[in-house]
């Protein structure tokens, strides 16, 4: 049986999964944000920086984040709390923690929850870049 003249067939469109190649830096220390952002841009990576976990969550950027580099201790929501919130919201973002105040307990908690790396400040740029590249490939 043919469709009457003027009838329309509705086709569903499947959107391709968004490319998640953005590296996000969340750190309350402006000098760290600027330095890490500069290193990432210098090697051709797309990067965006935020001064707090709350600012990052409100930005709508988690949908495009391929890797998150975050401080552990920040005013307001900590990096570990951000990790838990992203997991609760079903975001599977590889996370690299950077901290000047880390301890074995924090490191263990972050790694158990799926962090890909836990680096002490100051950290080697090459080690950070290697960790980010590995995270983006997952």
Q: What domain range is 101 assigned to?
A: 22-136
CATH number for the domain spanning 34: value is: 3.40.50.2300
Domain assignment present for 12: no
Domain assignment present for 8: no
Mean pLDDT for the stretch of residues 127-134:
96
Domain assignment present for 61: yes
pLDDT in tens, 14-71: 444 566 889 999 999 999 999 999 999 999 999 999 999 999 999 999 999 999 999 9
Q: Would you place residue 138 in the very low, low, confident or very high pLDDT band (cuts 50, 70, 90)?
A: confident
pLDDT at 101: 87
Mean pLDDT for the stretch of residues 98-107:
91
Domain assignment present for 87: yes
Q: Count how many domains the chain has.
A: 1
pLDDT in tens, 109-128: 999 999 999 999 999 999 99
pLDDT at 102: 83
Cα separation values, 13 from 3, 8, 18, 132, Å: 21, 15, 15, 33
Q: Would you place residue 108 in the very low, low, confident or very high pLDDT band (cuts 50, 70, 90)?
A: very high
Residues in the chain: 138
Domain assignment present for 27: yes
- 12: pLDDT strictly greater than 50: no
Cα separation values, 76 from 54, 59, 73, Å: 8, 16, 9
Domain assignment present for 33: yes
Domain assignment present for 4: no
Domain assignment present for 17: no
């Amino acid at each position: 049986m043919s469709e009457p003249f003027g009838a329309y067939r509705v086709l569903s469109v499947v959107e391709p999964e968004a490319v998640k190649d953005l590296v996000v830096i969340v750190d309350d220390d402006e000098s760290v944000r600027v330095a890490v952002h500069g290193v990432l841009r210098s090697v051709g990576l797309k990067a965006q920086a935020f001064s707090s976990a709350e600012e990052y969550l409100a930005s709508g950027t988690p949908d495009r984040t391929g890797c998150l580099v975050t401080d552990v201790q920040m005013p307001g929501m900590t990096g570990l709390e951000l990790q838990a919130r992203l997991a609760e919201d079903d975001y599977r973002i590889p996370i690299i923690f950077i901290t000047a105040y880390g301890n074995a307990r924090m490191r263990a908690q972050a790694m158990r929850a799926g962090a890909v790396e836990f680096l002490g400040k100051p950290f080697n740029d090459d080690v950070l870049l290697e960790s980010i590249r590995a995270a983006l490939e997952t």
